[in-house]
Amino acid sequence: MTTAPARLRLALAMVGAVLLAGTIGYWLLGFSLLDALYQTVTTITTVGFREVGEFGTAEKLFTIVVILVGVGTVLYTFTMLVQLVAEGRLHDFVGRRRMDRHIADMRGHVVVCGWGRVGRAVAHHLRDRDHAVVVVDADRERVETIDLPTVVGDATLDATLRAAGIERAQALVAALAGDAENLFVTMSGRAINPSLFIVARARQEDSVPKLSQAGADRVVNPQALGGARMASFVAQPNVAEFVDVVMHERSVEFRMQEVELPETSPIAGRSLREANLRGQANVLVLALRLPDGTFVTNPDPDTKLEPKQVIIAVGTDDALRRFEQLCH
């Protein structure tokens, strides 16, 4: 069902089309552009001022058409505007337009599909890490109070993902309730933006390989992941709590960060010893991830750094900022 704001946009477009057609028509009948616009406006608004020139048969017939089409269009648009004001939704309409323009200007953001418990947790963690986030959900009431850019619509539709700026996004999180919906979102996101990094939620274990084949870079089963964390708190409570705090708490002094070495990195081609990240940035390198996806933990100081490798380090916020600057 079409919403009132959508109908208002359509009505405004129709008014613009009538103004354009009327102006062109009167201009072709011999009026100047200003007189043609003036005649069109006074006709469709039923103001009743005199004609700006002599009217023959052609002018009269064209004016009849403008009246029949234009007056009805203007009245319909005025009715829609009054309805929005009466329902207190005009402010929402203006705010929606402003938000759409803001989303259109976003680059390198993360699109989170689904504002359930998982989607909310993902969006909040990303925002705490200073990532720009756009939330997509079909329930207008569920997202109308959040302080993040939102798109209301079916996330499995290409048009909805495009409205969220999926072509310009860095990553997509498919966190809808059903695995089938997340599969559609993953396939659509990969088709629209082949370079997109996609993380998909899976409720069933047999959905994991299907989501991976559909294009998801990572597939997460929240139940299995939550069970593993709970078990680790029992088996190794101090280790688990330390990792949890370092990864998610911004109040602690140290945290972990990953940086992928670009082709132009000044430390590419050097060994870890020569790069001297500990001395220059005061960070501790925990691991390297090679371009083939394998990890090298506690790397040897003579390990050579190559472009496309990912360095995982721990340090303070200031140290990690210096670390990123050195890598880039």
Residues 111 and 82 in one domain: no
Please state, as a whole number, how many other Cβ atoms lie within 10 Å of the Cβ of residue 48: 7
Picking from 220, 242, 277, the residue at the C-terminal end of a domain is 220
Average per-residue pLDDT for the chain: 86
Containing 22, the helix (H) or strand (E) segment is helix 4-28
Asked if the structure places residue 206 within a domain, the reply is: yes
Residue 246 lies in a domain: no
pLDDT at 55: 85
pLDDT at 95: 60
125 and 168 part of one domain: yes
Question: Of 52-61, 86-95, 113-122, 235-244, which has the strongest mean pLDDT?
Answer: 113-122
Whether residue 212 sits in one domain with residue 117 = yes
pLDDT value for 106 = 93
pLDDT at 252: 59
Percent of the chain with pLDDT over 90: 44
User: Does residue 101 lie in a domain region?
Assistant: no
Residue 305 has pLDDT above 60, yes or no: yes
Write out the residue range of the structural domain in which residue 307 sits.
Answer: 253-327
**Beta carbons of 322 and 282 less than 8 angstroms apart:** yes
Q: Is the domain of 261 the same as that of 200?
A: no
Per-residue pLDDT band at 10 (split at 50, 70, 90): confident
Per-residue pLDDT band for 51 (boundaries 50, 70, 90) equals confident
Which whole number is the average pLDDT over 57-86? 81
Contact of 4 with 84, CB cutoff 8 Å: yes
Same-domain status, 112 and 208: yes
Q: Is the pLDDT of residue 200 over 90?
A: yes
Confidence of residue 21 (pLDDT cuts 50, 70, 90): very high
Mean pLDDT of 262-278: 91
* CATH assignment of the domain containing 49: 1.10.287.70
Instruction: Give the C-alpha separation, 25 to 36, whole Å.
Output: 8
In a domain, 248, yes or no: no
Domain co-membership, 76 together with 121:
no
216 and 116 in a common domain: yes
Amino acid at 231: A
Is a pLDDT exceeding 80 seen at residue 82?
no
CATH code, domain with 198: 3.40.50.720
User: Is residue 216 situated within a structural domain?
Assistant: yes
Same-domain status, 116 and 193: yes
pLDDT above 90: residue 168:
yes
Mean of the pLDDT values across residues 31-40?
89
**Sheet order of strands, 110-113 included:** 150-152, 133-137, 110-113, 171-174, 197-201, 218-220
Which has more pLDDT, 274 or 251? 274
Q: Is the pLDDT of residue 4 over 70?
A: no
Q: What is the pLDDT of residue 70?
A: 86
> 114 and 214 share a domain?
yes
Number of structural domains in the chain? 3
The band of 199, judged by pLDDT with boundaries at 50, 70 and 90, is: very high
Residue 312: predicted pLDDT: 92
Which pLDDT does position 89 carry in this prediction? 56
Residue 274 lies in a domain: yes
Q: 236, 209 in Cβ contact below 8 A?
A: no
Q: What is the pLDDT of residue 86?
A: 60
Residues 56, 112 within the same domain: no
Look at residue 211 and tell me if it is in a domain.
yes
Point out the domain boundary residue: 205, 220, 235.
220
CATH number at residue 280: 3.30.70.1450
120 with 215, same domain: the answer is yes
Task: Report the percentage of the chain scoring pLDDT > 70.
Answer: 91
- Considering the domain architecture, whether residues 265 and 316 belong to the same structural domain is answered as yes
In a domain, 236, yes or no: no
Q: Which of 56, 88, 120 is the last residue of a domain?
A: 88
